[in-house]
Structures are given as C-alpha cells and as structure tokens.
C-alpha cells in the first residue's frame, strides 16, 4: 500500500513551477503593476488594502505554497494536497470579487480597473482576477490528473536469482521435426466461403 503512494518528484515539478510563478504574479501584481500603468484602484505602488490582502495576496500565497508542495513532493498525498490548495486559491481569484459583497455590506471589494481605455480595463480584470484564476485552476487540475493517474511508485528492479530463472530445454534446429503447411490464398478463400 505504501508503495502506491510514492511517485517520482518530477511528476509535479513542471506544474508546481508554473503555479509558483502564477502565485507570485497574483500576489505581487497589485503592488508593482502601477509601475507599468497596469493597476486596480488604488493605483499607487506598494499600497496595502484589506481587499488586496483577501483577494490577491492570500490566494497568491496559497498558489505559491501549493506549487512548492508539488515541486518537493515524493508522495501522492502531499502532491495532491498542493494541487488542491492551488486549485481552490485559483477559484478564489476568479470568484472572490464576485462573492465579496456577501461580507462587505453589499459593496464589491477589490476596487476597479484604473486604466482609461476599455481594452486595458478588460486586460486588467483578466490579469488580476478572472483569467489568472482560470489558468491556475487548469494547471492545478492537470497536476491532479497526473498525480492520480500515474503508475504506483518507483519500483525497485533487481536481478533474478539463478535458482528462480526459468529453465528451458533447448533443441537444436536441425533435430526439430519440420512440417510444411499448405499455402492458402486469402483472396480465394474468402470467395469460397461467400459463395
């Protein structure tokens, strides 16, 4: 049973690395985005708000932690925990601003896109919340599938002791009786069975 829970560390490494990068993006973009005119209100650098904590920093940290768990895990349970934590945080990126009026006196938390053009406001919404969360859920879901579908653990390969090797009687090819088989043409055989 314990062997079934082991897996190669490389199974979750690529997904884990992507999740670490996405978690860093999600947690840091509200603070460094204004440097590049890519921001939500308040559009000043390194400005802390409670909305940023709940909707961006904590989910970003959870995605980062899930990615690290995927990178270092040698057991399925730890890797699966990392993938599930990252997927839940990705879902929170997507749904957090929508659900925030439930505990914030019917006011949406998170501010509004700070750009003046419609296309930039859409890109800010996607990059800060919606698309970021969807990509995180996709990568974490893919990692879950890889973890759950791999063959069980790394099997030890050892030499078979000589006493357990199968013995076969070898017969020289010259002494074996030969039988000639009649030649059958499959094309004519099909016609005979049809007619």
**Rounded alpha-carbon distances, angstroms, from residue 23 to 12, 64, 69, 72, 87:** 16, 5, 13, 16, 11
pLDDT (average), residues 118-143? 96
Distance CA 119, CA 142 (A): 30
- pTM passes above 0.85: no
Confidence check: pLDDT of 133 > 70? yes
CA distance 119 to 160: 66
Judge whether residue 188 has pLDDT over 70: no
Confidence of residue 168 (pLDDT cuts 50, 70, 90): low
Q: Sorting pLDDT into bands at 50, 70 and 90, what band is 183?
A: confident
The pLDDT, as a whole number, for residue 106 is 86
Give the DSSP letter string of 68-100.
HHHHH--BHHHHHHHHHHHHHHHHHHHHHHHHG
pLDDT at 107: 85
User: Cis before residue 42, ω within 30 degrees of 0?
Assistant: yes
Residues 6+ apart with CB under 8 A from 75: 5, 6, 7
User: What is the C-alpha separation between 49 and 44, in angstroms, rounded?
Assistant: 11
Report the share of the chain in percent with pLDDT over 70.
74
Task: Tell me whether residue 133 is exposed, middle or buried, using C-beta atoms within 10 angstroms of its C-beta: 0 to 12, 13 to 18, 19 or more.
Answer: buried
43-52, 57-66, 128-137, 154-163: range with lowest mean pLDDT: 154-163
Give the pLDDT confidence of 19-74 residue by residue, as tens digits.
999 999 999 999 999 999 999 988 899 999 999 999 999 999 999 999 999 999 88
DSSP string, 13-71: HHHHHHHHHHHHHHHHHHHHGGGGT--BSS-STT---HHHIIIIIHHHHHHHHHHHHHH
């Amino acid at each position: 049973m314990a062997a079934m829970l082991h897996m190669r560390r490389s199974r979750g490494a690529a997904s884990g690395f992507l999740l670490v990068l996405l978690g860093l993006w999600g947690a840091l973009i509200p603070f460094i985005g204004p440097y590049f005119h890519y921001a939500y209100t308040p559009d000043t650098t390194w400005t802390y708000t409670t909305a940023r904590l709940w909707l961006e920093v904590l989910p970003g940290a959870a995605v980062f932690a899930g990615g690290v768990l995927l990178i270092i895990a040698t057991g399925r349970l730890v890797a699966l925990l990392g993938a599930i934590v990252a997927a839940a945080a990705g879902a929170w990126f997507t749904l957090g601003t929508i659900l925030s009026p439930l505990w914030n006196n019917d006011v949406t938390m998170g501010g509004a896109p700070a750009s003046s053009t419609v296309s930039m406001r859409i890109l800010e919404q996607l990059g800060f919340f919606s698309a970021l969360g969807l990509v995180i859920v996709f990568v974490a879901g893919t990692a879950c599938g890889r973890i759950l579908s791999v063959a069980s653990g790394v099997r030890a390969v050892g030499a078979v002791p000589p006493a357990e090797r199968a013995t076969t009687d070898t017969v020289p090819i010259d002494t074996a009786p030969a039988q000639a088989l009649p030649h059958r043409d499959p094309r004519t055989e099909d016609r005979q069975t049809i007619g």
